[in-house]
Structure 1
Amino acid sequence: MSDSASPARILIVEDEPKLAQLLADYLTTAGYHTQIVGDGREVVPALKASHFDLMLLDLMLPGRDGLEICKDVRSFSNIAIVMVTARVEEIDRLLGLELGADDYICKPFSPREVVARVKAILRRTPQQAQAQVNSRLSIDEARFKAVLNGQTLDLTPVEFRLLKTLSASPGRVFSRQQLLNTLYEDHRVVTDRTVDSHVKNLRRKLQQAHPGDEMIESIYGVGYRFTL
């Protein structure tokens, strides 16, 4: 995720060197940082090695198919994805979006159109809706999705809000009452021991995806804090 002091980083996945460089030139002129990958097998390693805000993903690639890559990436990352392809059949369009793509651009296209789409998508992907806690945990509030070590966590709404609150401030100790204030949207009256029950369930699910590490610590007489 980027802010005004840090230009967004765009991964351009395109095996036609001239087209890839053309896109890079336009996006760089628009103020973005870019990196080019030309082989489908290099995409996932590139995303795991560095942070990117958006990926322009061609579907026809050597090594791996773009749709397969998109599905794989969505298992561990909430990066914005724009599919770029010469495939215009509706089935590909729908399949691409169902796999988690944010937009779809068909070739031939104007580089200015690509820049406009990128700007629009980054504007509607605010930091509070999609938080990359670190390389192992990502939380996407807009999609109500949390991914740990590449595994999507099966969380209840209360557990999702609990994880979001704790992980947003690693190391901070939250009292039970502070956590209760964030857990129930209807502000129902419950005992603070209710938090203990939710923490227990959340810990169990985190352990399944990240065995042997206690990510939610109990601070005796105070509350809980998140460490990862």
Structure 2
Amino acid sequence: MQETILALNAVSAAYGSIQALSNISLKVPKGAIVALLGSNGAGKTTTLNVISRLVRQTSGTITYQGTDTARLSSDELVRTGLVQVPEGRQVFRDMTVLENLELGAYLRRDRSHIGRDLERVFHIFPRLQERNRQLASTLSGGEQQMLAIGRAIMSQPSVMLFDEPSMGLSPLLVQHMFRVIQELNRDHGMTILLVEQNVKLALGISSYAYILENGEISLEGPASDLAEDEAVRKAYLGI
């Protein structure tokens, strides 16, 4: 049985009087790609933000590497290897590509290895090396997504939380981003929790998946089984 590196147990969250999540429970095995799927407003981004301590849960527990995260801050989580690639890229637009990447390593203590990881980012995304002195604001949407992922890699994560990595990208770039996610998992040992609107592609690279509806888990199972589930195919795959 695979070791669980990240687990939510009966987690709820709210924005004021609006209930966003209700008793969410999920597990992410070490070394796996797990998909979190659902329609807009289902609570997917809130789930990632709760895990990252950007939004505080109102009940339930979250454990990362066996430790309850309730007493940890967002930056402490990043220091221990849990990093989110946010929806909409959120790069520092008035800083260069290289400065954005260097900021990703800000909390690291192993300064001697930062250059090695920068080379790794440039190997994965050669275009970032070509544009390393450009302001992030001058990059295309796809290049900014590369930069957001590269910045996260510079944090030396064990677990990466991806929030809609294909949003606003061309079909060719979407395929490229999914290949990168698979490469990070397969070749670099990163555990992935993937929130994604492209259900077909997400199920295609994941080992397990959860489906959120109105802040609650409505369905879960091996990704290959959900891809063949009639209700999932009608609701999300248009089949």
Both proteins in one fold, TM over 0.5: no
Which structure: larger Rg? 1
Higher relative contact order (CA 8 A, sep 6+): 2
**Normalising by structure 2, what TM-score?**
0.29
Normalised by the length of structure 1, the TM-score is: 0.30
Would you tell me which structure has more strand in proportion to its own residues?
A: 2
